[in-house]
Amino acid sequence: MEIIHVSAECYPMAKAGGLGDVVGALPKYQTKLGHIAKVVMPMYRTKFLYNHEFEVVHKGAFGMAHYWFEYTIIKEATNVLGFDLYLVDINGLLNREKIYGYDDDTERFTAFQIAVVDWMSKWHHHPDIVHVHDHQAGLVPFMMQHCYAYKNLSSIKTILTIHNAQYQGWMDWSKSNYIPDWDKWKSGLLEWDNTINSLASAIKCASKVNTVSHGYLEELMYMANGLEKLFQYERGKCFGILNGIDTEVWDPETDKYLDEKYGLKDFAEKKRANKKELCARFNLEENKPLIVFIGRLVGEKAADLLPQVIGDSIYFMEGKMNFLVLGSGDPYIEYQLSNLHIHLFGYYNTQIGYNEKLSHEMYAGADFLLMPSRIEPCGLNQMYALRYGTIPIVRRTGGLKDTVKDFGEPDGFGICFNTASVGDICHAVYRATELYDQPEKMNQIIQHIMQIDHSWERSTEIYLNLYRA
């Protein structure tokens, strides 16, 4: 099969979160199984771009509203990622350093999608599947089916993967002229709640839709940031497919970011060495349980609760544990977390920002990983933590519920709680400190979790079956 993934992120070219990890891995595993998997994404000005060689494969132009844009498609020349990576350049719109966060993101991603569809319409053959990821690629199925200029693509099957339904790509009807001319009878396929909604449009137009865990798909039926009714209506073509993790990148035995690599045989000694180094660097005590948080500092991740959880835990449990936070996001949460450091010096530390290397060192050196998420469509952090022998403390929601079982249950191995409240999270932290005081039990659990298989092989097959369907 020939599959084209359309996405705003793909690791290591550009990653803001799990979307990048997934789009950097799934095509690689599809290629390994003998399929042709290609990724097309915007040509942001990232380090990867400057450190690799590319060749120009296509040049074209399109109109968007009253403007005329020229675009160029380049392809990574050496197949270093294990699949073909194509980048779309549109001067003035995509030639930026960051992925998101600009005032003209609507214009940027609409133009990106038009360029992709325009390019595909010039091919001499048709791919089997166009697989779009999240709302930044959500207009593609509509454009392929209903824009006059691209009618030659209308028979190609499309798949939408929803990594996060909170963000939907809303666009006022006054911007409808951004979309290349279409059959106006079909306008309803663009709309939800009186506005153009890219994610809703893709849910309506894609041949099949999937979310990244079963648990999340069920939640969307009653909690989907306004799209609940649409999910209920389209339930028949929606599936849940749990993400995998790229075990070539995330393996404590070969991880290029770790000084002390380790496996099942030597984890006790080497994990301790990683922890010692991390604690020394961040002024923490290596003989206390180290609880870490890694992620976007936003409400979805319940990051707003972290300052109080950390303060209360350290205060009421008399400093029995240490916390280390790595993240970026909401400026107010960043400010609070930075400030807290002054009051809790020696018990807590933080690095605000995005740091791939440090994240690997934290998965390796920590005892526990905290994920109190209010919404977690899948969550990759807990799966990385498991592989690195770090016990996840998670709220029972979405993909977290599907991948972590409380150690109090038969065959359980993590710490689970039900509500994203300071009280519940602190209680879970307390249970972590109790568990830490039982080294034998800890070791048993670590051995068990390091062997849990969350590799992409299984999920890749399920995606292929979805394509075949």
Question: Would you tell me which residues interact with ligand GLC (CB under 6 A)?
Answer: 17-19, 22, 163-164, 212, 243, 376-380, 399
Q: Which is nearer to ligand GLC, 260 or 402 (CB)?
A: 402
CA pair distance 284, 358, nearest whole angstrom:
15
Is there a contact between 30 and 23 (Cβ–Cβ < 8 Å)? no
Angle (CA) 115-117-120 rounded to 5° is 105
Shortest separation between residue 362's beta carbon and ligand GLC, angstroms: 17
Judged by beta carbon distances under 5 to 8 A according to partner kind, the member of ligand ADP, ligand GLC, none in contact with residue 338 is none
Sheet harboring 170-171: ordered strands across?
A: 170-171, 195-197, 191-192
Is there a contact between 14 and 99 (Cβ–Cβ < 8 Å)? yes
Shortest separation between residue 246's beta carbon and ligand GLC, angstroms: 12
Residue 107's SS3 state is helix
Judged by beta carbon distances under 5 to 8 A according to partner kind, the member of ligand ADP, ligand GLC, none in contact with residue 326 is ligand ADP
Angle between helices 422-436 and 439-450 (to 10 degrees): 100
Q: Which is nearer to ligand GLC, 290 or 325 (CB)?
A: 325
CA pair distance 366, 26, nearest whole angstrom:
28
Residue 276's SS3 state is helix
φ, ψ at 391 (rounded to 5°)? -80, 125
Judged by beta carbon distances under 5 to 8 A according to partner kind, the member of ligand GLC, ligand ADP, none in contact with residue 356 is ligand ADP
Q: Give the number of other Cβ atoms within 10 Å of residue 288's Cβ.
A: 16
Judged by beta carbon distances under 5 to 8 A according to partner kind, the member of ligand GLC, ligand ADP, none in contact with residue 212 is ligand GLC
Q: Which is nearer to ligand ADP, 22 or 432 (CB)?
A: 22
Shortest separation between residue 169's beta carbon and ligand GLC, angstroms: 14
Judged by beta carbon distances under 5 to 8 A according to partner kind, the member of ligand ADP, ligand GLC, none in contact with residue 143 is none
Q: Which is nearer to ligand ADP, 98 or 235 (CB)?
A: 98
Q: Which residue's CB atom is positioned nearest to ligand ADP?
A: 18
What letter does residue 184 receive in the DSSP assignment?
G
Judged by beta carbon distances under 5 to 8 A according to partner kind, the member of ligand GLC, ligand ADP, none in contact with residue 296 is ligand ADP
Q: Which is nearer to ligand ADP, 249 or 425 (CB)?
A: 249
Roughly how many angstroms between the first and final C-alpha of the chain, as a whole number?
13
Q: Which is nearer to ligand GLC, 372 or 399 (CB)?
A: 399
CA pair distance 65, 199, nearest whole angstrom:
21
Shortest separation between residue 206's beta carbon and ligand GLC, angstroms: 16
* Interface residues toward ligand ADP, by CB under 6 A: 17-19, 21, 294-296, 326-328, 354-356, 359, 378-381
CA pair distance 373, 140, nearest whole angstrom:
30
Judged by beta carbon distances under 5 to 8 A according to partner kind, the member of ligand GLC, ligand ADP, none in contact with residue 257 is none
Q: Which is nearer to ligand GLC, 272 or 296 (CB)?
A: 296
Residue 365's SS3 state is helix
